[in-house]
Amino acid sequence: MTTAFVMIGAPGSGKTTHARVLAETAGALVVSTDSIREELYGSEEIQGDWAEIKRTLENKIKANVGNPVILDATHYRSSYRREAINLLRRSGYDIVIGMIVDAPLEDCLARNSARDRKVPEHVIENMWCVLKSQLASIDKEGFTMTVRV
């Protein structure tokens, strides 16, 4: 059985911090869309071509099959989570765990304001609200299980 983890949370919620700790304890590879943007375009801030980012993400996942992997991105919309689940299952991951980092909006905004690379507050607020509105039904999206951290 091969396990994958999908981080879920608004910017500033602590997803990347939790992913790093999880990677150490689970011996997992962290695959981050931000790090892929950095790799491809020289900066996490450059949104770039989603098709190219997705292709790179898929290649990293497929190259790691047989070992635990962590997808580190917001996955704030149910459609994004379903896409991640489908990709992981197609790639050979039997167990897909949704790791929900459900931080209060105020904490997300405070962490964001302390960062060098800031996400606009209205974007965080929107993503946080969309995610909050979908959390009640997240267990029906196809994860093997969900964990709130």
pLDDT for the residue numbered 48: 86
83-121 per-position pLDDT tens digit: 999 999 999 999 999 999 999 999 999 999 998 888 999
33-59 per-position pLDDT tens digit: 989 999 999 878 788 888 999 999 999
Question: How many domains does the chain divide into?
Answer: 1
pLDDT for the residue numbered 47: 84
Which long-range contacts link 29-32 to residues 24+ away (Cβ below 8 Å)? 29/60, 29/64, 29/67, 29/68, 29/69, 29/70, 30/69, 30/70, 30/72, 31/57, 31/60, 31/61, 31/64, 31/69, 31/70, 31/71, 31/72, 32/71, 32/72, 32/73
pLDDT for the residue numbered 148: 94
Q: Kindly report the CATH number assigned to the domain that includes residue 71.
A: 3.40.50.300
- pTM tops 0.75: yes
Range of the domain at 133: 3-148
Find the mean pLDDT for residues 118-140: 95
Find the mean pLDDT for residues 15-42: 94
